[in-house]
A and B are shown apart, each in its own frame.
Chain A
């Protein structure tokens, strides 16, 4: 009886620990989502300077700087995206193992034969 009770307590303990873990992970995820828009742990001294930067009046000089900056950013984005786009296409080998009775192989054979004629 004692053994049975011991095994039961052990199982319950594992389940409780597991769910506690899940709750912690869930909280971390929630915090991550919230911090996308506002970071409560952000250094308080940095916040005002960020605000000032945004409110800065645009002069000809910093306007040109800003344009250069955005051009660079855009170029960075483009190069990253090109790499991403290249990766999005999956390579298929011409000699992939396809059943000869499959529709794809039947049509491929007809098309190749007709184009060769």
Chain B
């Protein structure tokens, strides 16, 4: 039996992962996450001839309206890229110490999103009652006189459609205005377009 187990381990280590052709980084080929109770492997599409199609293949968006967003949000919020998003999902979301937030409208989130993301549409930023409930769900503790205790607040990473999408900035603005600590918010500027353009796994809700 021991001999058999050793053989299986050796064979597995020799042939490696099925996501080794197109890895995320040199050391990471895939990560396991949970989305609505289902386990999902986040990896990249292994077909090197893959092209981006559909709405996210568009390279120009009308501006004013959908203008290019700056890297520095000028409010102290840290801007990150895909490798940091992967590390955040693995170390914070999977450990229940952080939340990946999709700031797009609900129908877009249901159509396709990043595995493990939760949806807080940017439009709810104006709704004080909804924001208060959301802050509580995110670990903020309500104190008298409208103050908040942020010691147990989750770390957040907010994204929307892409580098031309202002929805994340709007939601981040509302969170900061409501009293969420700036040190616990990160901004994934590349958003869903960059996620898709790098061939990462996505999820759709039926």
Which A residues contact B (CB, under 8 angstroms)?
11, 14-15, 18, 22, 25-26, 77-78, 80-82, 84-85, 88-94, 96-99, 102-104, 106-108, 110-115
Contacts and interface: CB of A to CB of B under 8 A. Distances in A.
In this complex, the member of A15, A106, A107 whose beta carbon has the largest number of chain B beta carbons within 10 angstroms is: A107
B119 interface: yes
Contact of B130 (A80, A92, A114): A114
B51 interface: yes
B38 A110 contact: no
B3 interface: yes
Contact of A77 (B51, B54, B206): B51
Given A90-B40, A99-B37, A108-B118, A114 B124 contact: yes
Contacts of B204: 89-92
Name the residue in B40, B106, B133, B201 with the highest tally of chain A Cβ atoms < 10 Å from its Cβ: B133
B140 interface: no
A91 B110 CA distance: 10
B206 A88 contact: no
A108 B119 CA distance: 7
Which applies to chain A's interface (DSSP): helix, strand, loop or mixed?
helix
B34 to A, nearest CB: 9
B36 A92 contact: yes
Contact of A114 (B49, B52, B127, B201): B127
A84 B106 CA distance: 25
Given A14-B3, A96-B38, A107 B118 contact: yes
